[in-house]
Amino acid sequence: MRKPQDLTHSSGVASPESDHLISRRAVLSGLGVMTLLGASGCSQTLDIPSLGPVGPSGGMPQLDDMSTGSIRPIPPISVDKNITDNGTMYASLTDNGFVVPAIPFQKVKQEFRRQIVVDPTGEAPGTIVVRLNERHLYWVQEGGEAVRYGVGIGKAGFEWSGRAVIQYTKEWPTWTPPREMIARKPELVKWASGQPGGLDNPLGARAHYIYKDGQDTGYRVHGSPEWWTIGTQASSGCVRMINQDVIDLYNRVRASPTKVPIVVA
């Protein structure tokens, strides 16, 4: 086999075969450098205008047609003035004369804090979807997005599931324990005629009343002063939320022109 020096003319000019060999070495060398950069976790950027804009998370854009290179940018998640930083969303607030205490959100898992996500439910906008296994409640919005909240759900044997509607809502509702609950906890007999709304009321700052076929199911989506139970199975069947979150949901439900459908599964 000829050595590289054999491929040079006497005049000192490289032959085409030599040019080919050098170009091949340059390509392989360049690939090697890029591989090393990738392996070392370097974040260097290559300026390749033909790739077009990157996605919102820094990833590559989606292409409608790889053959033509036409670009369909990945849509960004919406900005909602009520979905801000955790310190603002979970700050203390005064509502109807009650001072709702701030939530130590650092003690609440990130997945259970209010945020906008890509809608995973497939339900129509304006629907509430509770996924019991996830401990998440979704308010489905236009554009394929949803507001997601963390929730606490019923203990084993107390859960309810199905399709229904939110018949009505209340601010700082009165709580009346069912007779079955009073039988289990006799100390609750003092509230047999109803516990007035307030900071210690188990229904919290808002309650959404679930009806199916015109009948009260007895289940609610409501606030709770026990923020540390969010993400757990702790209730007697109702879906409980952080008070700041249930107020946010209430404002969305109240703005709906029709009764809000709810799916619990």
- What CATH number does the domain containing 200 carry? 2.40.440.10
Q: Is residue 37 a part of any domain in this protein?
A: no
Name the H helices within the chain. Answer: 16-39, 86-89, 179-184, 243-254
Looking at residue 81, its pLDDT comes to 87
- pLDDT band of 75, cuts 50, 70, 90: low
From the candidates 42, 136, 208, 238, which is the catalytic residue?
238
Please give the pLDDT value at position 73.
Answer: 55
- The band of 71, judged by pLDDT with boundaries at 50, 70 and 90, is low
| Residue 76 pLDDT grade (very low, low, confident, very high; cuts 50, 70, 90) | low
Would you say 201 and 175 are in contact if contact means Cβ atoms under 8 Å apart?
Answer: yes
Whether residue 107 is contained in a domain is answered as yes
Give the domain extent around 206: 86-264
Query: Where is mean pLDDT largest: 26-30, 141-145, 154-158?
Result: 141-145
Q: How far apart are CA 78 and CA 86, in angstroms?
A: 17
State the total domains in the chain.
Answer: 1
Task: Answer yes or no: is 92 within a domain.
Answer: yes
Establish if 98 belongs to a structural domain: yes
Q: Distance between CA 211 and CA 195 in Å, rounded?
A: 22
State how beta strands 239-242 and 233-235 pair. Answer: unpaired
Report how far residue 167's alpha carbon sits from residue 216's, in angstroms, rounded to the nearest whole number. 9
Residue 42 has pLDDT above 70, yes or no: no
Q: What is the pLDDT of residues 17-30, one digit of tens each?
A: 444 434 444 433 44
Residue 49 backbone zone (phi > 0: left; psi -120 to 50: alpha; other: beta): alpha
The answer to whether residue 42 is catalytic is no
DSSP secondary structure code for residue 4 in this structure: G
| 34 found inside a domain | no
- What tens digit of pLDDT does each residue of 122-140 get? 999 999 999 999 999 999 9
Instruction: Summarize pLDDT for 198-255 with one digit per residue, the tens.
Output: 999 999 999 999 999 999 999 999 999 999 999 999 887 899 999 999 999 999 999 9
213 is a domain residue: yes
146 pLDDT band, cuts 50/70/90, is very high
pTM for the whole thing? 0.71
Annotation says 238 is catalytic = yes
